[in-house]
Amino acid sequence: MNYAYIRVSTNYQTVQNQKIAIREYAKYHRIHNIIWVAETISGTKNPEKRKLGSLLSAANEGDTIIVTELSRLGRSMMMILDVLQLLLEKNVKVIAIKEGYELGDNIQSKVLAFAFGLSAEIERTLLSERTKQGLERARKMGKQIGRRPGQKPKKYKLTGKGAYIRRQRIEGRSKLSLAKEFGVTWVTLNKFMIKNKIQ
């Protein structure tokens, strides 16, 4: 399957520019039968809260996703890197027209997938350090820190649920639906599934 993903603002011109660029690219490279996925939502929202989350679930090995530029996938480097790493791990080809990237099932893309994962991990580490510093400042100011009583960390919400999730996936249930059931993000569920070799 060939997908074209467009994240748009309320600016009609922006929508048309993206569509024209993708159509011209597809025509030149003889890419046919494109499924268009468009949404008017901020790139700062997590992928699972956007149509992009459904697209990431639907895309399978051998599929292609075309975007005009990588920034359409998210507004933070970490978000974009996470999405790219996920797609490359699934052997989904990603085409970013503006940057001239064609990331797919080749050694260069595998190296980039590793680099994307490493970069995202570094970004998460830096973010964690900044968060800890902020929490320490808040503690010194006497503010209440920590989760509310009775709440479970997300990683524990999926513990022991592997068999159930596997059965549900075999029956055709979407990742987004399962993530909502367990009260975790799509990304958290997907990482759990990859770790436990669940399709």
pLDDT digits (tens, 9 = 90+) for 14-69: 778 899 999 999 999 999 999 999 887 655 556 666 788 889 989 999 999 999 98
Identified catalytic residue from 9, 42, 76, 177: 9
Q: What is the pLDDT of residues 160-194, one digit of tens each?
A: 888 898 888 888 888 888 888 888 888 888 888 88
What is the rounded CA–CA span in Å between residue 113 and residue 123?
Answer: 15
Cβ atoms of residues 17 and 67 within 8 Å: no
* Domain end point (choices 67, 85, 111): 111
Asked whether residue 157 is assigned to any structural domain, the reply reads yes
Overall domain count for the chain: 2
* Domain end point (choices 55, 89, 111): 111
Q: What is the domain extent for residue 181?
A: 147-199
Based on the fold, state whether residues 151 and 105 are members of the same structural domain.
no
Residue 28's pLDDT is 95
Based on the fold, state whether residues 106 and 17 are members of the same structural domain.
yes
pTM over 0.75: no
Q: Among 9, 2, 30, 6, which residue's Cα sits nearest to residue 20? A: 6
76 has catalytic annotation: no
